[in-house]
Amino acid sequence: MNSLEEKTITIKNIYKGRIIELNIEEVLLPNGKNSQREIIKHPGAVAIIALTDQNKIVLVKQYRKALEKNIVEIPAGKLEKGEKPVITAIRELEEETGYTTDHLKYLTSFYTSPGFANELVYLYYTDQLYSLENKKELDEDEFVELLELSLEDTEKLINDQVIHDAKTMYALLYLKLKRLEKNENQ
């Protein structure tokens, strides 16, 4: 028995958009009372830690309307319906960076905002990048600038809150830890 579970009584769909859906769910709490949960349904996403052969991290600068500012993130994108995350990851890497790879390693996955959304991000890693001869087109409403930075360079961007999102900051910690573990084993 799951003593913390909240059973669904009713689901009311408020909005079904291009990317997200909003439902209001009436739930039965563990103490027998009712409450409402505001839930965003999201198709899920991928993000890619990609290192060049000069050991630079491939990043994209992008205007995020929700934040009303540009931020710098690791390449990422939403899953298309029924698409396997690894396929999305290759597609987004190609579209956003002009690189491709045949060595993509799955690292982990995490929910971004479990309090109100089911968005799950699948995180991949590659240090084997090849430049595409023919660049892929971005989505028609997508505009990004490519950056290639050393791990040290990213520190300043974190301090300046230009790098300012969870998946990218997780990725940079991951790389720091990986580097430190490698040094320890040498």
Stretch 81-120 residues interacting with its own copies (CB under 8 A)? 108-119
Q: Which of residues 9-48 bind its own copies (CB under 8 A)?
A: 14-15, 17-20, 22, 24-25, 27, 29-31, 33, 35-40, 42, 45
Cβ proximity to its own copies: between 31 and 54 the closer is 31
- Is residue 128 within the footprint of its own copies (CB under 8 A)? no
Give the shortest CB-95-to-its own copies separation in angstroms.
15
Give the shortest CB-144-to-its own copies separation in angstroms.
8
Q: Which of residues 144-183 bind its own copies (CB under 8 A)?
A: 144-145, 158, 161, 164-167, 169-170, 173-174, 176-177, 180-181, 183
Contacts 24+ apart (CB under 8 A), 76-84: 76/45, 76/46, 76/47, 76/48, 76/121, 76/167, 77/45, 77/46, 78/19, 78/42, 78/43, 78/44, 78/45, 79/43, 79/44, 79/45, 79/46, 80/43, 81/43
